[in-house]
Amino acid sequence: MNDILSPAAIEDTPDLETLTGPDDHDDLRLWLRLLTCCNLIEGDIRGRLRTEYETTLPRFDLMAQLHRAPEGMKMSELSRHMMVTNGNITGITDQLEKEGLVQRNKVLTDRRSSLIKLTAKGKRTFRKMADSHEQWIQDLLSGLSEKSRKNLFEALGELKLVAQTRLTPRP
């Protein structure tokens, strides 16, 4: 496939939204449009994280959690925040620790737990990745009108609240 889709190629590359026929309902089209946007962007981010930083979205996510918690986080906290089960946090943490990006620190008051922190190397690495990440997003969203960005932001805020209120959490 080409790097940049030509208008003709866009016509020829149906996506999820084009699955709806002419008489399908608007809510469904709205959802498929949302899903398509998200998949396109997320796929792009995953690809860039892989090729430019040899990492993955869950690993990036875990480091982002630690970045905003300089005092460290427990495994169980990470599990709760990232909404995945405990064993998976162990696996990702193992990888990152092996690469010297995070560190398990024993906590004296509870010998079962440990506090996970970014190492100095982890902080440097994360800062670079996060800067790139933000740049990718800004480059993309700069193609959007100011009005659309504002509308999107507000409407998504409303949607997020509705979803968090009505939907059963995943795990």
Partner DNA sequence: TATTGTTATACTCTATAACTATA
Partner DNA sequence: TATAGTTATAGAGTATAACAATA
Positions in 92-111 near DNA (CB under 7 A): 92-94, 104, 109-111
Q: What is the 3-state secondary structure (H, E, C) of 75-143?
A: HHHHHHHHCCCHHHHHHHHHHHHHCCCEEEEECCCCCCCEEEEECHHHHHHHHHHHHHHHHHHHHHHCC
What is the C-alpha to C-alpha distance for residues 169 and 67, in angstroms, rounded to an integer?
25
63 within 8 A of 126, measured Cβ to Cβ: yes
59 within 8 A of 45, measured Cβ to Cβ: no
Residue 59 binding DNA, by CB under 7 A: yes
Instruction: Write the single-letter amino acid at 170.
Output: R
Query: Nearer to DNA by C-beta: 86 or 148?
Result: 86
- The least distance separating DNA from the CB of residue 62, rounded to whole angstroms, comes to 9
Positions in 61-120 near a second copy (CB under 8 A): 61, 64-65, 68, 80-81
Measured CA distances, 15 to 19, 21, 37, 47, 140 (Å) = 7, 13, 10, 19, 19
Site map (CB under 8 A) of a second copy, residues 8-27, x = contact: --x--xxxxx-x-x--xxxx
- The least distance separating a second copy from the CB of residue 137, rounded to whole angstroms, comes to 5
Q: Which does 70 bind (CB under 5 to 8 A by kind): a second copy, DNA, none?
A: none
Query: Nearer to a second copy by C-beta: 48 or 104?
Result: 48
- The least distance separating a second copy from the CB of residue 6, rounded to whole angstroms, comes to 9
First-last CA distance in the chain: 36
Total binding residues toward a second copy, as defined by CB under 8 A: 73
Site map (CB under 8 A) of a second copy, residues 28-57, x = contact: xxxx-xxxxxx-xxxxx--x----------
Query: Nearer to a second copy by C-beta: 121 or 150?
Result: 150
**Given the DSSP bridges, would you call strands 102-106 and 114-118 parallel, antiparallel or unpaired?**
antiparallel
Contacting positions for DNA (CB under 7 A): 56-59, 74-77, 83-94, 104, 109-114, 170-171
